[in-house]
Amino acid sequence: MNPAPGLAGGAGAPAGRPTVGVGRQVGRPDLAGAEPGDVVAVRGRGAVGQTAAGAAILLGAERVVSIDRIPERPARTERYAGAETIDRTTTDVAAELRERTGGRGPGVYIEAVGMEARSDGPMHLYDQAEQQLRLQTGRPTAVRRAIHACLKAGAVFVLGVFADAVDKFPLGAVINKGLTVRNAQMHGQRYIPMMLDRSAAGEIETARLATHTLSPDQAPMAYDLFKHKTDGCGRAVIRPEY
């Protein structure tokens, strides 16, 4: 098991070249309406969240605040994405976001966690029970918190993956705050030319996202590393030559 040299999101991908998977995250801040001068919050510091944070900075965001609970991720996000970080396990995230934005909240909030979001307290147990009973197909914890923390008339972008129905969606807060809620799959024809240009200019670098390289017979280990986020795993890549 080795750090992946010159690899971006898939076996054989040239160093520094964005793949379609990375393109999904690069286009997201633009689809979310991030503009120069905005304060952007990103919930999740995995490969998806790191790339979204970096893309928001490329689009001219004044500040980008990245939120997560995994201890190895803040240094990577600060170094590669240039974002401020919040450890949600030791900080009241909503209060800290208000403190950093003069009491208003971020104008754009990107949810980059998805259906397996975790939280502390009884709501997580409630969501988990509903998911296991198939009463909902995902845990929308991070989406709820994005909606409540976002600036009035701001934008919430759901980048994390969801399957179907979720419970306790705060629609009233969306309406009363006048929020725009968006999501989408990557618009390839719209964003691939821009990403290739920025990659050639050295503005988009993705090789660092592949933290572990393994052989095909180590595929179960690769999945376990990625699923449980052990050994600082960001992305595990399987290459035949290993």
Q: For the segment 107-128, what is each residue's pLDDT rounded down to a tens digit?
A: 999 999 988 887 777 888 888 8
Residue 184's pLDDT band, with cuts at 50, 70 and 90, is low
Contacts of residue 176, Cβ cutoff 8 Å, sequence gap at least 6 = none
In angstroms, the CA 50 to CA 184 distance is: 18
pTM over 0.95: no
**Residue 63: in which H helix or E strand, if any?**
strand 63-68
Nearest to 109 by CA among 63, 172, 58: 63
User: Can you give the pLDDT at residue 23?
Assistant: 42
Contacts of residue 203, Cβ cutoff 8 Å, sequence gap at least 6 = 58
Nearest to 24 by CA among 34, 9, 6, 39: 9
In angstroms, the CA 35 to CA 40 distance is: 9
pLDDT digits (tens, 9 = 90+) for 145-171: 999 999 999 999 998 888 888 999 999
Task: Return the structure tokens found at 95.
Answer: 């209060």
**Least confident segment among 42-56, 141-155, 168-182:** 42-56
In contact, 152 and 107? CB cutoff 8 Å: no
In contact, 22 and 35? CB cutoff 8 Å: no
Bridge-based pairing of strands 63-68 and 155-158 is: unpaired
